[in-house]
Amino acid sequence: DGGITQSPKYLFRKEGQNVTLSCEQNLNHDAMYWYRQDPGQGLRLIYYSQIVNDFQKGDIAEGYSVSREKKESFPLTVTSAQKNPTAFYLCASSIESSPATQYFGPGTRLLVL
């Protein structure tokens, strides 16, 4: 079945540690996105990539990094510079054309120990 997978479902981070969230899609979509959702709030865009080996900062990129070495993969690293990382992280993908509906993965919940 085609879709977007995110792993792990839950992730725990210790102080000063970098952690990486995985996002994989087999929909042959060109564009991929990372969003952050805080409790009771909407989604905010962290990074997005419209093509392999290229990505752009979203609205809240500080403390995060990404890579896009393969079309199907867009991992997000939460660095130690992100002082408030506890949130629900959602990955999405879309066909790179206009208009392009974004389809979402199941999400990863990141908690700080």
Partner 1 sequence: AQKVTQAQTEISVVEKEDVTLDCVYETRDTTYYLFWYKQPPSGELVFLIRRNSFDEQNEISGRYSWNFQKSTSSFNFTITASQVVDSAVYFCALSGSIKAAGNKLTFGGGTRVLVKP
Read off the tokens for 100: 């392009």
| Binding piece for partner 1, criterion CB under 8 A, among 20-28, 65-73, 76-84, 91-99 | 91-99
**What is the spatial distance between Cα 92 and Cα 69, in angstroms, rounded to a whole number?**
17
Spatial CA neighbour of 50 closest among 58, 38, 61, 42 = 58
Binders in 28-87 for partner 1, by CB under 8 A: 31, 33, 40-45, 48, 50, 56, 58
3-state secondary structure of 39: coil
Q: Which is nearer to partner 1, 19 or 91 (CB)?
A: 91
Total chain residues near partner 1 (CB under 8 A): 29
Q: Does 107 bind partner 1 (CB under 8 A)?
A: yes
